[in-house]
Amino acid sequence: MTAATGDRLLVNFFYAHPVGHAIEALHYCLGHHLADPAREVSVVLNAATTVELARFCPFVSHAYAVEHPLLEPCLDSAARQAGIPRRWEWVVDDFRRGQDIQLEMFPGLRDYYLTSDRLLTASRARTYVGSPRPGYVAHQQLRLELPPAARTAAASRFDPRAKPPGGGRIAVMPAGSGQRSLYPSAGSWLVMLDALADAFPGVEIALIGKLRRDTRTATSL
């Protein structure tokens, strides 16, 4: 751990929009916060992801949502990053910005970080998430502090008295962020669901996903 400094650290984590990457970024925020609880930790996220999850992390001071293309080049990247403060003590970038395969696959990612390098300054250092230089506590459990009303609403959707005979539930999330050919077909998912039903008689199987396309997903159930 580092000594408490009260300085400001930005987790600069613009990447693809699936919710898992937002959780990934918040996990890094937690690790850098725990290394210095007096530090102000902020995060940059793709505006198409679940930026609102940062509200349920009291250790995150600010979340900056950036509307920026990922798959295509961006000619106005500086304008799209206008809402991010320019000066920090620490800037820690997503490690993918240093991977050539990511920059080749996502021209918008390349443009975001090239522009970010020009716009953002760090008085102490600029490095990658998880770096020990600003201090980082690894392998910590991230727990979102959801509002009581949200917890009550979620609990009300399931009647604890109406558990399936076999007990328990299995959540299936048939989604992905890569090319369609990299994921199972609808027929393959049906085979897997049949196998789950046979292996766990009486267990409730729930499909989790979107009913229609929106700005956060190109797929739907």
Kindly report, residue by residue over 117-151, the tens digit of the pLDDT: 999 999 999 999 999 999 999 999 999 999 999 88
Gap between the Cα atoms of 75 and 116, Å rounded: 13
Supply the Cα-derived Rg of the chain in whole angstroms. Answer: 20
Instruction: Identify the DSSP state of 214.
Output: B
CA-closest candidate to residue 21, choices 129, 139, 179? 129
Q: Which residues contact 176 (CB under 8 A, 6 or more apart)?
A: 182, 183
- Residue 109 exposed, middle or buried by CB count within 10 Å (0-12, 13-18, 19+): buried
Boundaries of domain holding 165: 158-207
Tell whether 94 and 175 lie within a shared domain: no
What's the mean pLDDT when you consider all of the chain? Answer: 89
Distance CA 75, CA 102 (A): 19
Number of domains in the chain: 2
**Chain-centre distance for alpha carbon 197:** 31
Predicted confidence (pLDDT) at residue 159 exceeds the cutoff of 70: no
Asked whether residue 220 is domain-assigned, the answer is no
**Are 104 and 191 found together in one domain?**
no
In percent, how much of the chain has pLDDT > 90? 68
For residue 8, how many other CB atoms are within 10 A of its CB? Answer: 20
pLDDT tens-place string over residues 79-100: 999 999 999 999 999 999 999 9
Residue 1 within a domain: no
DSSP state of 38: T
106 and 62 belong to one structural domain: yes
- C-alpha–C-alpha distance, residues 103 and 71, integer Å: 10
Token pair, residue 148, equals 């009581």
CA distances from 7 to 60, 76, 146 (A): 13, 30, 27
Per-residue model confidence (pLDDT) at position 164: 53
Domain co-membership, 16 together with 117:
yes
- CA 38 to mean position of chain CA atoms: 24
Same domain, 67 and 171: no
Together in a domain, 103 and 41: yes
Phi, psi for residue 60 in degrees, rounded to 5? -100, 120
The amino acid occupying position 109 is L
Domain boundary among 71, 106, 128: 128
Question: Same structural domain for residues 90 and 171?
Answer: no
Domain's final residue, options 74, 109, 128: 128
Domain membership of residue 146 (yes or no) is no
Paired strand residues for 90: 9, 125
- Picking from 174, 162, 168, the residue whose alpha carbon sits closest to that of residue 201 is 168
